[in-house]
Amino acid sequence: MNVLKQTALAYLEKATAKRGRILDVRAWNPATIFEIDLHLPETNMYRWKQVQHMKVKVANGIYRDYSPAMWDCETSTCTLIVDAGHEGAGSAWVKQLRKGDDIVYLGIGPTPHKPADAGQMYCLGDTSTIAHFLALEQLADSPGRLTGTIALQHPNHQLEFTSYFYQTSLTAIAGKEKDKCAQLLPVIAPLTDETVYVAGNNKTVVQLRKHLRQQVSFKGSIRPQGFWS
């Protein structure tokens, strides 16, 4: 990073950075997914009407976006679910977190995803979207109106998803394919008039959107949001 960018980031961090406290950290098995319970005393969660993302400091001058899920407005607590199945500054950061640590974040803001005014909603994504879609489900707050499929890598993660989030209407599937589009294609075939939310890997989002558009029986709307490439 050049000196100018580093200085600008240092200034921004000094002016706007907030702190949160880690209440607990849970690693899934294998330990490539981490749940982090956070207390964010400076955040007013009553204002959250769209799925949020927070810009978290993961190393000096390096920030990554993560989605706060399962929040409680009264206690200002929420949970991040981080996919660390690849090499990266965010993955390295999450693996060394411990209960009682503080985290630094630049801010929390809305993503374009919010519950549709009417009709069925269907979510499609990869491991990095678990928290994002649990958050959308929390906002929708209408059992049965939101369903969806999340493509994970490991069979045991699928079992853990079902056991930890037993109240969700989202379904996890597992498969080793790097190409999550191939894994998700069978579940889009029956879609007809839903509002479909697609998130995660940029290429997969584009491919799934294309497949849905080409499906003659599909008359619904698509709300894509790429996370990473």
Binding site for ligand FAD (CB under 6 A): 53, 64-67, 81-83, 85-86, 88-91, 111, 128, 131-132, 227-229
- Provide the CA 91 distance to its chain's centre, in angstroms: 14
Residue nearest to ligand FAD (CB): 88
- Measured CA distances, 14 to 11, 61, 104, 105, 228 (Å): 5, 12, 11, 11, 27
Nearer to ligand FAD, 195 or 201 (CB): 201
Other Cβ atoms closer than 10 A to 63? 19
| Residue pointed to by tokens 């993961």 | 58
Nearer to ligand FAD, 191 or 199 (CB): 199
Smallest distance, ligand FAD to C-beta of residue 206, A: 15
Smallest distance, ligand FAD to C-beta of residue 7, A: 22
Smallest distance, ligand FAD to C-beta of residue 228, A: 4
Residues 6+ apart with CB under 8 A from 181: 203, 204, 207, 208, 211
Do 175 and 187 meet the contact criterion of CB atoms below 8 Å apart?
A: no
Structure letter (DSSP) for residue 70: E
| Residue pointed to by tokens 């499609």 | 124
Nearer to ligand FAD, 51 or 222 (CB): 51
Nearer to ligand FAD, 31 or 189 (CB): 31
Nearer to ligand FAD, 76 or 91 (CB): 91
Closest CA to 66 of 136, 123, 129: 129
Nearer to ligand FAD, 59 or 185 (CB): 59
Smallest distance, ligand FAD to C-beta of residue 63, A: 9
Smallest distance, ligand FAD to C-beta of residue 131, A: 4
The helix (H) or strand (E) run that includes residue 26 is strand 18-27
Smallest distance, ligand FAD to C-beta of residue 214, A: 26
